[in-house]
Amino acid sequence: MYEIVPNLSEGRDESTIDAAVEAVARTGARVLHRTSDAVHNRSVLTIAGNDVQVLDAAIELAGVALQRIDLRAHRGVHPRIGALDVLPFVPLKGGTMARAVELAHLAGERIWARYSIPSFYYGAAARSPERALLANVRAGEFEGLEARFATMPPDAGTIARHERAGAIAIGARPLLIAFNVELAGGDLELAKRIARTLRERHGGLLTLRALGLRLDASAVQLSFNVTEYESTPLYRIVELVRQLAARAGVTVRRSELIGCLPRAAVESAARYYLGVLPDS
């Protein structure tokens, strides 16, 4: 079994996401969860199946995104390089990371052959160390792809970007929890400062990826990707955000899960807040 978690650059038009879900269903893969956000203008699908099914689903999703999303007119707070922006392959029961990498590379090649959309490989699928981090692949966003072409050409394809669909970041990675924490007030600099403090590449928590984003005049968001929830549990992230925000007189407004997460991650958070020991 494998999972793909495609991020589409459309969070306002439900008919586009309906079309994506229908395209996936035709491949035999199963959509486990869908979520859309109008401010981010982004939707995330959680899809599972065998290796052939998820590969077919990935290619079909690229076609739906090309047909229905035009990046030239896209506006949202979340960074993006493509209509189908991020496409990670994740090994589940019986799956291997080596096969997930192979599927990522096959997806890039077949999407280019069918739709002329270029792709960059990240995570375990990266072909050079500087492309392993998704943030590096997505730097400069859709608008900056042409300028980057001389120094960072795509891994699949011979152009910097497709006119409408941009490019795709295709990866292979372990299970990941996408988790957001919102702060009351519109202090974007505070959110960015907390993100910088907590993210791994600036000396923060193990494997944690973090962004500070503005939602509206009354709220900002810490957007987290957590790949090692055993080492970096969700409650630790929330409580550190709460402490760092409190120093600036700001409170946590709410938290939000995007997609699915392992049951063990929920149980560890529940034990912490209930004060229950793991073996009780």
Q: What is the per-residue pLDDT across 82-99, written as a single tens digit (0 to 9) for each? A: 999 999 999 998 999 999
Domain boundaries, the chain: 2-172, 177-274
Q: Tokens 């080596």 sit at which residue?
A: 98
Could you tell me the mean pLDDT of each successive run of 10 residues in the chain, 280 residues long? 98 97 98 95 97 98 98 95 98 96 98 98 96 93 94 96 98 94 95 96 90 92 93 96 97 93 93 80
pLDDT at 279: 58
pLDDT at 206: 87
pLDDT at 12: 96
pLDDT at 272: 94
| Known catalytic residue at 162 | no
Positive/negative CA dihedral, 21, 22, 27, 32: positive
* Catalytic, out of 74, 78, 105, 162: 78
pLDDT at 216: 87
pLDDT at 134: 93
pTM: 0.88
Quick one: CATH architecture of 177-274? 2-Layer Sandwich (3.30)
Q: Retrieve residue 20's tokens.
A: 């994506």
Q: Where are the alpha helices (DSSP H) in the chain?
A: 14-25, 51-68, 97-115, 134-137, 145-148, 188-198, 234-246, 263-274
Query: To the nearest 10°, the Cα dihedral for 72, 110, 14, 73?
Result: 0
What is 2-172's CATH superfamily? Formiminotransferase, N-terminal subdomain (3.30.990.10)
Contact 35, 258 (CB under 8 A): yes
Amino acid at 20: A
